[in-house]
Structure 1
Amino acid sequence: MAKLSKEQIRLLKVRRVIKSKKPEFRHFAWRTKLKLRRLGWRRPRGRHNKWRLRIGGKWSGMYHPSPAFSSPKLVRGLHPSGYEEVLIYNVKDLEKIDPERQAARIASCVGLKKRLQIEEKAKELNIVILNPTKR
């Protein structure tokens, strides 16, 4: 666990509760068109769009993202463990990481050989890896 203040630890728990109650934000016409079910949120922009205007009955059960659904500012963007995530592509990238605040996430495009080298170097530098190789 990263070195966090008591306030940040409390806010991480609050964030977990907020995110568990957050609805799934869908595309406007996701019920009518199959291909729109795969898409994520798109803001309704039509001039006469009833959902954009929030006219009653037309948008019940569908939500617009708003600041009410966001995480507390102190813990926004942090991993649930409390670390900041840093994407790593090679061994050199590990030198830029502060092991007390940040943790490494190895990019998906990195092959096994280089991944093992990164993990060895991270162990020497006491850096946490968020997605280690399964052995």
Structure 2
Amino acid sequence: MTIEDIVGGDSELIRKLSDEGISNADELKERLSVPEKADELRQKLGVDSKTVEEWKEKLETEHEEEEESEVPEQKDGNGYRAHAKPALTPDLARALRVRKELSLRRPDFLRAEYYKADRLGTKWRKPRGKQGKMRLAVYYRPKLVSKGYGSPAAARHLHPSGFAERIVHNVSELEGVDPKTTAVRIAHSVGTRKRKDIIAEAERLQIRVLNG
């Protein structure tokens, strides 16, 4: 991907980028990776934050496509092959990044007064006490579950790699699986012989097996 592809062929922006010593996508990506430098560059170019975010998404998408097209190295003659990666749209790739960032900041949701008895456990239960301080959201009690802590809808229920998951019990259930968007997980009840058959067929169809 060239600078022209990223900025949409805007000759004035290309000239300003050249004046800043940026002549290719790698140099632009390096500058945008540092928030302070990215903000400084944005002001010099006279563009808004949304435009800069779009550039970052294009650069990130290009990086992911390059990873998918890489030829995996051979190790010790065992024919090591990298895991298949999904075909992600820019919007979905961004949603996955946002989900990851949110999950790092999301608090642990604990059961009210779990510390008073071991038998209660810490698993979340909605507090219902009329005068319960946790139900009243008093600041010194654990946080309540609320929709504000949710993940982007586009990335919900997806594997961290970006694949949608499907449970399979036999070889026939691999039919109709799109290897670009869906990965399979072999059910825990499947025996060794059938598991080997599923893995072999999945490799033939270039379908990723998450627990193979």
TM class by smaller structure? 0.7 to 0.9
8 Å CA contact 2:134–2:141 kept in 1: the answer is no
Residues 85-107 of structure 1 show CA distances to partners (whole Å, capped at 9, x for unaligned) of 11111212111322221100111
Q: Which runs of 5+ in 2 are unaligned?
A: 1-84
Identity of aligned residues (%): 36
Residue of structure 1 equivalent to 2:86? 2
- Measure, in 1, the Cα distance between the counterparts of 2:164 and 2:112: 33
Residue of structure 2 equivalent to 1:24? 108
- Measure, in 2, the Cα distance between the counterparts of 1:19 and 1:12: 11
Deviation at 1:61, TM superposition (A): 4.5
1:51 aligns with 2:134: yes
Per the normalisation by structure 1, the TM-score is 0.85
| Structure with a larger share of its residues in helix | 2
- Measure, in 1, the Cα distance between the counterparts of 2:110 and 2:125: 7
- Measure, in 1, the Cα distance between the counterparts of 2:169 and 2:110: 33
1:129 aligns with 2:209: yes
8 Å CA contact 2:133–2:141 kept in 1: the answer is no
- Measure, in 2, the Cα distance between the counterparts of 1:16 and 1:74: 13
Other structure's SS at 1:44 match: coil
Deviation at 1:51, TM superposition (A): 1.7
- Measure, in 2, the Cα distance between the counterparts of 1:40 and 1:92: 38
Q: 1 or 2 for the larger relative contact order (CA 8 Å, sep ≥6)?
A: 1
- Measure, in 1, the Cα distance between the counterparts of 2:203 and 2:163: 16
Deviation at 1:36, TM superposition (A): 2.0
Residues 54-88 of structure 1 show CA distances to partners (whole Å, capped at 9, x for unaligned) of 2x35xx24011111211111111111111101111
8 Å CA contact 2:134–2:144 kept in 1: the answer is no
Residue of structure 2 equivalent to 1:93? 173
Which letter does structure 2 place at the counterpart of 1:26?
Answer: L
Aligned residues: 128
- Measure, in 2, the Cα distance between the counterparts of 1:114 and 1:12: 33
- Measure, in 2, the Cα distance between the counterparts of 1:61 and 1:22: 15
Aligned CA-pair RMSD? 1.6
Per the normalisation by structure 2, the TM-score is 0.56
Larger Rg, first or second structure (1 or 2):
2
Other structure's SS at 1:105 match: strand
Residue of structure 1 equivalent to 2:40? none
Which letter does structure 1 place at the counterpart of 2:167?
Answer: L
Which letter does structure 2 place at the counterpart of 1:6?
Answer: P
Moved over 4 A (4+): none
Which letter does structure 1 place at the counterpart of 2:111?
Answer: H
Instruction: Kindly report which structure 2 residues correspond to 1:103-122, keeping only aligned pairs within 5 A, or say none.
Output: 103-122=183-202
- Measure, in 1, the Cα distance between the counterparts of 2:144 and 2:111: 10
Q: Which runs of 5+ in 1 are unaligned?
A: none
